[in-house]
């Protein structure tokens, strides 16, 4: 049985997949399993990957390449990869990112040495302009609180977990926006013994397009609805564990933050209507919620009064 299984979902990452695969196949940990899931790529990603695998002949028996017939999104690709894992521990790596060569050996050794269910670690966000941000991670008594307040990353690319976490009751996201949050919150509810290594093992390459920065409004709306669906799963998981009351104010703030992704387009009728309807149950709670900042309460009132676009224009005029 492999010590670590790495799942790599990818879609149209031809310029980056070789860099990613080299960093994975060159790991110092020898007893590994690699599951690459091609999510219906239309470029030469798969060909580049296969050529790279051929350079690591000693790894070929450890590699599985799964090709999906069409692009279904990261969530479905990761879920498909999880069907094929056999390692003691599991982790994800995005096909356009990169890991340090000693990463999985250090994670596995710490997990085994301390009998841990989860080990997380620091990472670096790298931007096209050459800038970078160090994302340090930490452990606290209440890790659900840390995630709901954005004090730690919800990414699953920096969290090694026991395979047993994915038991029959595990809830899998079906949509591909904020899907890692659905995984991570279950990790912290399920895993009893946690550890952290404060080393930047993972290089997370950030690209300029946000999930709403797409050309057509239909796609923007679809992606926003995917975000809402996955957040609903997160909040349902919290409720299942009896913590809805404990985190109710944080949940209101999190729902408002999700709604506010639409503010850039709020001057268009369909986006304003979507902003109103999304998580409409918080509309009477925002102003009294202690976890919503005064600034966000101000924006909320402006948006309700259809004044947010005017404020945005004023702000732009006075920042030139």
What are 214-262's pLDDT values in tens digits?
A: 557 888 888 899 999 999 999 999 999 999 999 999 999 999 999 988 8
Q: Could you read off the pLDDT of 119-150 as tens digits, one per residue?
A: 999 999 999 888 999 999 999 999 999 999 99
Q: Tell whether 156 and 71 lie within a shared domain.
A: yes
Average model confidence (pLDDT) for the chain?
Answer: 91
pLDDT score of 54 more than 90: yes
Residue 158 has pLDDT above 90, yes or no: yes
Asked if residue 307 and residue 183 are part of one domain, the reply reads: no
Residues 194 and 239 in one domain: no
Residues 232-244 pLDDT 10s:
999 999 999 999 9
- Statement to judge: residues 236 and 268 lie in one domain: yes
- Shared domain check, 174 and 129: yes
| Residue whose pair of structure tokens reads 């452990």 in the numeric block | 139
Q: Are residues 258 and 146 in the same domain?
A: no
Domain assignment of residue 139, yes or no: yes
CA distance 132 to 320: 26
Q: Do 175 and 199 share a structural domain?
A: yes
From 182, 205, 228, the end of a domain falls on 205
Residues 43 and 172 in one domain: yes
What pLDDT was estimated at residue 211?
53
Q: Where are the beta strands (DSSP E) in 28-88?
A: 32-38, 63-67
> What pairing do the DSSP bridges indicate for beta strands 194-205 and 98-99?
antiparallel
Domain end position, chosen among 148, 177, 205: 205
pLDDT at 243: 96
Q: Reduced to 3 states, what is the DSSP secondary structure of residue 45?
A: helix
Find the radius of gyration of the CA atoms of the chain: 21
Cβ-count burial 137-159 (b if 16+ within 10 Å, e if not): beeeeebbebbbeeebbbbbbbb
> Based on the domain organization, do 137 and 250 belong to the same domain?
no
- Residue 291 within any structural domain of the chain: yes
Number of domains in the chain: 2
pLDDT of res. 119: 98
Q: Over pLDDT 90: what percentage of the chain? A: 77
Tokens 């947010």 correspond to: 308
**How are beta strands 89-92 and 63-67 bridged, if at all?**
unpaired
Question: Can you say whether the dihedral through the CA atoms of 117, 121, 241, 261 is positive or negative?
Answer: negative
109 lies in some domain: yes
Same domain, 248 and 121: no
At residue 186's C-alpha, the angle toward residues 72 and 182, to 5°, is 30
Query: What is the span of the domain harbouring residue 264?
Result: 217-317
Task: Rounding to the nearest 10 degrees, give the CA dihedral for residues 50, 10, 40, 75.
Answer: 140
- Asked if the structure places residue 152 within a domain, the reply is yes
| Position 172 in a domain | yes
Please indicate, yes or no, whether residues 199 and 235 belong to a single structural domain of this protein: no
Confidence band of 312 (pLDDT split at 50, 70, 90): low
Query: How many angstroms separate the CA atoms of 40 and 73, rounded?
Result: 9
Rounded percentage of the chain residues whose pLDDT exceeds 70 = 93
Mean pLDDT to the nearest integer, 9-29: 97
Structure tokens, 236: 């349902």
| Boundary (domain end) residue, out of 171, 205, 239 | 205
pLDDT band at 318 (very low <50, low <70, confident <90, very high): very low
């Amino acid at each position: 049985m492999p010590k670590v299984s790495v799942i790599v979902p990818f879609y149209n990452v031809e310029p980056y997949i070789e860099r990613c695969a080299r960093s994975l196949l060159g790991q110092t940990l020898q007893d590994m399993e690699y599951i690459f899931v091609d999510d219906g790529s239309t470029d030469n990603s798969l060909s580049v990957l296969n050529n790279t695998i051929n350079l690591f002949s000693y790894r070929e028996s450890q590699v599985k390449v799964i090709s999906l017939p069409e692009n279904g999104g990261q969530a479905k690709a990761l879920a498909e990869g999880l069907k094929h894992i056999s390692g003691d521990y599991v982790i994800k790596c995005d096909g356009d990112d990169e890991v340090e060569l000693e990463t999985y050996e250090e994670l596995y050794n710490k997990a085994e040495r301390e009998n841990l269910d989860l080990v997380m670690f620091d990472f670096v966000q790298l931007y096209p302009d050459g800038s970078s941000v160090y994302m340090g991670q930490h452990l606290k008594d209440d890790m659900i609180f840390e995630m709901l307040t954005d004090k730690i990353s919800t990414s699953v690319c920096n969290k090694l977990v026991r395979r047993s976490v994915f038991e029959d009751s595990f809830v899998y996201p079906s949509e591909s926006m904020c899907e890692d949050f659905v995984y991570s919150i279950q990790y912290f509810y399920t895993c009893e013994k946690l550890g952290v290594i404060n080393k930047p093992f993972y290089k997370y390459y950030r690209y300029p397009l946000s999930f709403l920065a797409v050309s057509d409004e239909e796609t923007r709306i679809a992606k926003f609805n995917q975000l809402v669906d996955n957040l609903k799963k997160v909040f349902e998981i919290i409720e299942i564990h009896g913590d809805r009351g404990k985190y109710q104010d944080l949940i209101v703030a999190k729902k408002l933050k999700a709604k506010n992704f639409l503010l850039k387009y709020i001057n268009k009728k369909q986006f304003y209507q979507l902003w109103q309807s999304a998580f409409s149950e918080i509309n009477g709670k925002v102003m009294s919620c202690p976890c919503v900042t005064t600034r966000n309460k101000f924006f909320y009132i402006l948006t309700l009064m259809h004044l947010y676009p005017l404020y945005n224009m004023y702000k732009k005029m006075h920042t030139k």
